[in-house]
Amino acid sequence: MGVFTSIDDPSSTGHEQVVFCQDTQTGLRAIIGIYSTALGPALGGTRFYPYASEEAALADVLDLSRGMAYKNALAGLDLGGGKAVIWGDPDQLKSEPLLRAYGRFVESLNGRYYTACDVGTYVADMDVIARETRYVTGRSVEHGGAGDSSVLTAWGVFQGMRAAAEHVWGAPTLNGRRVGVAGLGKVGKHLTRHLLDDHAEVVATDVDPRAREWVRANHPQVELVDAAALVAADIDVYAPCALGGALDDDTVPALRAKVVAGAANNQLAHPGIEKLLADRGILYAPDYVVNAGGVIQVADEIEGFNFERAKLRATRIYDTTRQILRLADDEGVPPAVAADRLAERRMAEVGRLRTIHLR
């Protein structure tokens, strides 16, 4: 597979830049993908993952960097879309020299790309990378970072869910609704609290007994069921907050919820699922719209983190979701298509302003 063939996706405007980085001494093999800098420097995390092949690593970074451009555009950020992958098993390969070598490659892009955490990389890793580059965010509180991004991710998901509830039932509240939370991890726990504060009934599931124990101890009113039972439960809203691909050919036909809104990335197992949801009259609030609270948080850190300012911006996920759902109705397209159109419009209209010459 040629790189140019891969980055010339006919359905998109194409990636701006793809950088292959190698440091044989540390075993670093990384690819940085910059999809668009129309709105500003590209921002997106670094995924450290043992891909089966170089092709798989390249395909993932291209896909993820494009997704970040759309997510950042809809989150109202002055940031473009990028992402990086480090190919290898982080448990065996991750070391201070490798992370610092990677940091030097990020620095060499001179601010065209800002990195942050993703699968396989953590806040502590960002602190190490930051010893070699200024273009890193998602750092520890001790280093001026914002810390755990799940707080605002959950807040944003809750806002998106309110907008979906308003679209379906006429009022922007989950009061009296039964909400199924699938995954009681960092985001799922905060989301459960927001839902209970809003007087929703929560039914939840998690494969980890520690997460279930947390619920029993902290929120005994939450009903715990197994994963399959949650999908088929008599619920109004289904909130996937565990892994990607939660909505597939088995789960969607079993769903009784009228709304799907959750934190998990890449919830649709394949593109056809969107139509399946629409045919069943289920409103899907696109994952990358409602889960943007995390990227809003790390983006805020670039300016010097201010929790209230970042929370205000995450609260606007309510307005964005509302706008997308209306546009979807007006244009007769699924919400994910409407979301893409809105993101593309912002990238084109705001990005165009840079053609006004300043000096």
Ligand X SMILES: NC(=O)c1ccc[n+]([C@@H]2O[C@H](COP(=O)([O-])OP(=O)(O)OC[C@H]3O[C@@H](n4cnc5c(N)ncnc54)[C@H](O)[C@@H]3O)[C@@H](O)[C@H]2O)c1
Per CB under 6 A, the list member of 264, 276, 314, 342 interacting with ligand X is 264
The answer on whether 258 is annotated among ligand-binding residues is no
For residue 238, list its beta bridge partners: 180, 260
Q: Of 206 and 274, which CB lies nearer to ligand X in the complex structure? A: 206
Residue nearest to ligand X (CB): 185
The answer on whether 189 is annotated among ligand-binding residues is no
Give the strand pairing for 42-43 and 113-114.
parallel
Residue at token pair 């036909």: 253
Per CB under 6 A, the list member of 291, 317, 325, 335 interacting with ligand X is 291
For residue 136, list its beta bridge partners: 115
Give the DSSP per-residue string, 124-175: HHHHHHTTT-S-B-S--GGGT----THHHHHHHHHHHHHHHHHHHHSSS--T
Q: Of 170 and 209, which CB lies nearer to ligand X in the complex structure? A: 209
**Catalytic residue selected from 83, 94, 189, 258:** 83
Q: Is 94 a catalytic residue?
A: no
Whole-angstrom Cα distance, residue 56 to residue 289?
26
116 binds ligand X (CB under 6 A): no
227 binds ligand X (CB under 6 A): yes
Residues 6 or more apart whose CB falls under 8 angstroms from that of 236 comprise: 177, 178, 179, 257, 258, 259
Backbone CA torsion sign across 142, 148, 151, 156: positive
The answer on whether 225 is annotated among ligand-binding residues is no
> Which residues, numbered 201-220, are part of the site for ligand X (CB under 6 A)?
205-208, 211
CB of 264 to ligand X, least distance (A): 4
274 binds ligand X (CB under 6 A): no
Q: Of 101 and 242, which CB lies nearer to ligand X in the complex structure? A: 242
Give the 3-state secondary structure of residue 83: strand
**Which positions lie near ligand X, rule CB under 6 A?**
149-150, 153, 182-188, 205-208, 211, 227, 241-244, 263-265, 291, 294
Give catalytic residue positions. Answer: 83
